[in-house]
Amino acid sequence: MALELKWLEDFLSLAETRSFSRSAEDRNITQSAFSRRIRALEVWLGTELLDRSTFPITLTVDGRQFRETAEETVRLLTLSRSQFRSRQEGSKLPVLAVTALHALCLTFLPGWLTEIRRKVGPVTSRVLPENFHTCIQALVEGGYDFLLTFHHPNISVPLDPERFAFLTVGRDSLVAVAARPERRSWQAGDERVPLLHYSRGSFLGLLAAIAQAREGAPSTYLGHTNEGSMAEALKFMALDGHGVAWLPRSLVADEIAEGTLMVIAPEMPMDIRLYRSADRSRPFVDRVWSAARAASG
């Protein structure tokens, strides 16, 4: 398990507020997720940082000692990031910072960047491919100009509409696919077939659960869970015949056309949304936003 910067920032927030609920709200995550991250930091360090028997909570001796280390580490990392970004922004080309779901980085993002460059001129791009919750956090914390994500009306996006505007910039669909019959690990007459499943909390996993509950979806049992929640990994499991996978059509369009994957259920439409933060409104970002709006027309 690798140490993450956000764990240090969580700990420093908690050392300040002495309240899990207040710090979780400040960090824009659920209290349970915040508690797990604090515990992960303690496990990584091999010591207890908090005395949870007091109210409000207090730092242990190790916690007080580590607070100084965490403050200095975050300060140095923030300073380095600021210096690097200033260097980039001082270069000849403007920098477009985008965080996006893994699948969209493989399918939609390259063409979208091409269109943006055609409309606003040459740019340098900085892209963070991540899961949904990390992408949300990256946008909220101000490190990125835009977020690209799938959207379906049955799944809420935890962003304040007053601060985070969005455009619908594309369309896709979620499609259930399986390998050709001769490559499948199950028989044609089987009553239930193996489902290739996303990890718990995955955005595409939530969408897949909705699609799987619709009429016409195959009857399934859990055949494999991809803990990394990357649709690309499930695609290759499906190609090797391990089960049914619900995947963005854009990710498997070539395989469907070639016949190596077959569509076995009605597709579920979904939008592709572009979000931006009102806190990041430099002229270049405004130009990109205008170009994206014109392109989505």
* CATH code, domain with 211: 3.40.190.10
Does the N-terminal peptide bond of residue 269 adopt cis geometry, omega within 30 degrees of 0?
Answer: no
Tell whether 176 and 265 lie within a shared domain: yes
76 confidence band (pLDDT: 50, 70, 90): confident
Cβ-contact 279, 142 below 8 angstroms:
yes
Please report the pLDDT score of residue 86 as a whole number.
63
Tell whether 282 and 166 lie within a shared domain: yes
Tell whether 104 and 58 lie within a shared domain: no
Strands 244-248 and 193-198, by their bridges, are: parallel
- Mean pLDDT (whole number) for 121-139: 89
Tell whether 138 and 202 lie within a shared domain: no
Q: Tell if the pTM clears 0.85, that is, is over it.
A: no
pLDDT at 51 over 60: yes
How many structural domains is the chain composed of? 3
Q: Which domain holds residue 81?
A: 5-87
Rounded to whole angstroms, how far apart are CA atoms 175 and 162? 33
Per-residue CA distances from 180 to 141, 218, 236, 256, 262 (Å): 45, 16, 13, 10, 6
Which of 29-43, 78-92, 225-239, 251-265 has the highest average model confidence (pLDDT)? Answer: 251-265
